Amino acid sequence: MKIKTSSDYMSSLQSINPVIYYKGEKIKDVTLHPATAPHVRAAAMTYALASQAEHHDLATATSHLTGRKISRFTHVHQNVEDLLKKVKLLRILGQKTGTCFQRCVGFDGINAVYSVVYEVDEKLGTDYLERFKQWLTYIQDENLMVVGAMTDPKGDRSKNPSEQPDPDQFVRVVERRNDGIVVRGAKLHMTGAVNSHEILIMPTMAMDEKSKDYAFVGAIPVDAPGIIMVFGRQAGDDRRDKLETIDVGKPRFGSVGGEAMIIFDDVFIPNERVFLDGETEFTASIVYRFAAHHRSNYGACKTGLMDVLTGAVSYLCQIQGAAKGSHVRDKVTEMIHLSETLYSSSIACSAEGVPTESGAYMVDTMLANVCKQNVTRFHFEVARLAVDLAGGFIATLPSEHDLKSDEVGHLVKKYFTGVADIPVEERIKIGRLIEAMTGGTALVESMHGAGSPQAQRIMIFREGDLTKKVSLAKALAGIPSVKPKQEAS
């Protein structure tokens, strides 16, 4: 692996030159800019863990393509053990960063595309898999961070891509050349985009035959000509300056994943980096498999965040002298119960994984959707309990400027003191951490990341096999199963 350490990763980002805007101005160095640097540091943790002996086995894998040691975030799952190691790794990363570490979308995109293009080649005689293997070997050997780009703006959602008044509301091929394709459009909410090296572009939905130009998969460096990124705002981002580190809540790491809009302004993708082009019948499989992989992750990474939140509110209750209260213990117990229940969903869908035709392993898709549906409830309930226990002061704390003020600082300290032997600064810091992890952007991402709750409910109903369940009930009740009468021809 060329990039081995956090420092290597930082240096690699400084060696490329993507076009990134934030609040109307260009960002020159994402490793230093106050809006992006915390997200860079969170992603850097994925590199740091790989070099630590205690986490090396989880954070690395052996490439089935080359036999070389690689980052797990560039690996194609070869067995159930790979799926389980991924889950365990994600929980640890969530615990260490308290936020999104951003490499999962590209990771899941790699696995989805690999398994599907194998099937495209088998049916149609194309050479997409070989192209993909060549690109993936490069990603693995260099240990590059890939942003998976799937979500399109969608425009008028009652219309298909080919029916949109503005055809650019879905990323599309606008020109086909002998040596490649030219694409135009945008992808929204792209986690880790500004601090990735490569973009893996995928369709956002199943495409019909009229939408061939939208049915493509391709990869391109983030600083390729025609790519423009606009970094999104997050709750409390104006607090990030050199003075207000406490007010941020998590001084080292970002609020969520550092999402950005990626604009493709007639971007050329050479043939060797095109892995699907017009084969509409396979777009549904890419979306389906990507979504399942990605939804299974949430039961692990979000559990890591919930672990931090549970620890934070428990310590705050100690500071405030309330930790021994029976109601406190009961609510903390519920937080732990919800966290472990969510984690068990992620473990379950991984343990029930099965091989695809390509040999790459898929999680159990029903359980993956159940896992993500649980995230949209359990994470919110843990956050609610944390706010309940913390008290209203987390929403009304004076700023760090006031804490350090010569005029009123001593008064802030006096009236925000808890138990006598714990510094008031610790109460304020832990309060800000809880504020950061329960407000604004953090919970929105838990709700809508990897698809909104309704998307999971559709899949749960679709895969629920109600016909079988009805048959089971009839059998126990002694009701004969009668096949529906066929109408006379």
Give the tens place of pLDDT for each residue, 1-12.
699 999 999 999
- Asked if pLDDT for residue 172 goes beyond 90, the answer is yes
Confidence tier at 484 by pLDDT (50, 70, 90): low
Greatest mean pLDDT range, 140-149, 464-473, 476-485: 140-149
Binding residues: 191
- Asked if pLDDT for residue 380 goes beyond 80, the answer is yes
Respond yes or no: is residue 191 known to be catalytic: yes
Respond yes or no: is residue 317 known to be catalytic: no
Confidence tier at 455 by pLDDT (50, 70, 90): confident
Q: Which of 60, 100, 310, 379 is catalytic?
A: 100
Give the tens place of pLDDT for each residue, 66-84.
999 999 999 999 999 999 9
**Which amino acid does the sequence have at 126?**
T
Name the token pair of 439: 């407000």
Q: Which of 214, 294, 310, 349 is catalytic?
A: 294
Q: Cα–Cα distance between 353 and 349 in angstroms, integer?
A: 6
Q: Cα–Cα distance between 41 and 59 in angstroms, integer?
A: 17
Respond yes or no: is residue 100 known to be catalytic: yes
Q: Which of 259, 279, 400, 435 is catalytic?
A: 259
From 15, 16, 35, 39, select the one nearest 25 (Cα to Cα): 35
**Strand-pair category, 60-62 with 354-355:** unpaired
- Asked if pLDDT for residue 486 goes beyond 80, the answer is no
Half-sphere exposure of 187 (CA within 13 A, CB side): 26
Respond yes or no: is residue 75 known to be catalytic: no
- Asked if pLDDT for residue 379 goes beyond 90, the answer is yes
From 323, 55, 428, 20, select the one nearest 195 (Cα to Cα): 20
From 167, 196, 199, 198, select the one nearest 184 (Cα to Cα): 167
Q: What is the pLDDT of residue 383?
A: 95
**Strand-pair category, 259-270 with 198-201:** unpaired
Q: What is the pLDDT of residue 362?
A: 98
| pLDDT: which is higher, 409 or 241 | 409
Respond yes or no: is residue 294 known to be catalytic: yes
- pTM for the model stands at 0.92
Q: What is the pLDDT of residue 489?
A: 45
End-to-end Cα distance, the chain: 66
- Asked if pLDDT for residue 458 goes beyond 70, the answer is yes
Respond yes or no: is residue 445 known to be catalytic: yes
Percentage of the chain exceeding pLDDT 90 = 87
**Mean pLDDT of the 423-427 span:** 95
Q: Which of 298, 343, 365, 435 is catalytic?
A: 298
Q: What is the pLDDT of residue 9?
A: 98
- Asked if pLDDT for residue 241 goes beyond 80, the answer is no
- Asked if pLDDT for residue 310 goes beyond 70, the answer is yes
Respond yes or no: is residue 315 known to be catalytic: no
**Mean pLDDT of the 283-309 span:** 96
What are the structural domains of the chain? 286-467 (1.20.140.10)
Q: Provide the 8-state DSSP code for 479.
A: -
Give the tens place of pLDDT for each residue, 189-230.
999 999 999 999 999 999 999 999 999 999 999 999 999 999
Q: What residues contact residue 79 under an 8 Å CB cut-off, 6+ apart?
A: 361
Q: Cα–Cα distance between 108 and 273 in angstroms, integer?
A: 18
Q: What is the pLDDT of residue 70?
A: 98
Binding residues for FAD: 191
Q: Which of 22, 60, 74, 104 is catalytic?
A: 104
Summary mean pLDDT of the chain? 94
**Which amino acid does the sequence have at 53?**
A
Q: Provide the 8-state DSSP code for 205.
A: S
Q: What is the pLDDT of residue 454?
A: 86
Confidence tier at 236 by pLDDT (50, 70, 90): confident
Give the tens place of pLDDT for each residue, 261-276.
999 999 999 999 999 9
Confidence tier at 53 by pLDDT (50, 70, 90): very high
Q: Where are the alpha helices (DSSP H) in 157-282?
A: 245-248
Q: Which of 128, 283, 301, 379 is catalytic?
A: 301
Q: Is 352 exposed, middle or buried (0-12, 13-18, 19+ CB in 10 A)?
A: middle
For the CA atoms of 94, 97, 103, 107, the dihedral, rounded to the nearest 10 degrees, stands at -20
From 350, 303, 356, select the one nearest 81 (Cα to Cα): 350
Q: Cα–Cα distance between 115 and 136 in angstroms, integer?
A: 13
Cβ–Cβ contacts within 10 Å for residue 56, how many? 12
Q: What is the pLDDT of residue 253?
A: 87
Respond yes or no: is residue 410 known to be catalytic: no
**Lowest mean per-residue pLDDT among 98-107, 254-263, 323-332:** 254-263
Q: What is the pLDDT of residue 245?
A: 77
* Helix, strand and coil percent figures for the chain, each rounded to 5: 55, 15, 35
